[in-house]
Chain A
Amino acid sequence: DTGVSQNPRHKITKRGQNVTFRCDPISEHNRLYWYRQTLGQGPEFLTYFQNEAQLEKSRLLSDRFSAERPKGSFSTLEIQRTEQGDSAMYLCASSLAATTSGYTFGSGTRLTVV
């Protein structure tokens, strides 16, 4: 098992463009989480899936953001019409449902909007 994998590691995009990030969780983990971390802050919850069902979305997740987890395996996070304020590290994590062992985080995708 190679852990949680996120691609790309870095993304630079122009304001107004759309971007998509991918997360591959640990294979037996049925929960997948997305967090956003801005400079000098702790990670903030965006959304999570149990299998293919998106069970909770934060109010931070505006209409420009959409996340999917088809077939309950990998997940994608898309940001439409990017803004400079979207610049952040986007972290993915996975876990087993109802586990108390904590998450396994990926290394993140750093987005810079210019």
Chain B
Amino acid sequence: AQSVTQLDSQVPVFEEAPVELRCNYSSSVSVYLFWYVQYPNQGLQLLLKYLSGSTLVKGINGFEAEFNKSQTSFHLRKPSVHISDTAEYFCAVSATGGGNKLTFGTGTQLKVEL
């Protein structure tokens, strides 16, 4: 089984400042890693994913994440945030074999302020 820990439930940040949203995972098997964004009363949209290869992954809207196997982390970063980035962000994992079932963290609410 897999589990995901998102250490920060809320992250306030000023517009144009950098941000990092933290994600740690636990798994006894190899995993794929994902970040999703959810706007109010919406479904989830895929931001980026790590499958294999380069540990630095770039996604949509200027976000990137780095896979660190030794620390079992997959932190999400953006060098300069915009008001429109205000949303809930979810880290998720799935085992590399079978089903594609996702296990999500509890989410981090990113609030961008002027």
Contact = CB atoms under 8 A, between A and B. Distances in A.
Interface centre among A45, A95, A102, by most chain B C-beta atoms within 10 angstroms, is A102
A99 B43 contact: no
A77 to B, nearest CB: 15
B100 A95 contact: yes
B105 A105 contact: no
Contacts, number: 63
A104 B51 CA distance: 17
A104 B99 CA distance: 15
Interface centre among A43, A56, A91, A107, by most chain B C-beta atoms within 10 angstroms, is A43
Contact of A107 (B42, B90, B99): B42
Contact of A105 (B44, B51, B107): B44
B10 to A, nearest CB: 11
Interface in A57-78: none
Contacts of B100: 31, 33, 48, 95, 98-99, 103
Of the four ranges (under 10, 10 to 19, 20 to 34, 35 or more), the interface on chain A belongs to: 20 to 34
Given A42-B107, A110-B41, A55 B34 contact: no
Interface string A72-114: 0000000000000000000101010011111111111010000
Of the four ranges (under 10, 10 to 19, 20 to 34, 35 or more), the interface on chain B belongs to: 20 to 34
Contacts of B32: 100
A107 to B, nearest CB: 5
B42 to A, nearest CB: 6
Interface centre among A42, A45, A93, by most chain B C-beta atoms within 10 angstroms, is A42
B17 interface: no
A103 B44 CA distance: 9
A55 B34 CA distance: 23
Contacts of A4: 43
Interface of B: 4, 32, 34, 36, 41-46, 49, 51, 90, 92, 99-107
4 nearest A-B residue pairs (beta carbon): A42-B104, A105-B43, A105-B44, A102-B46
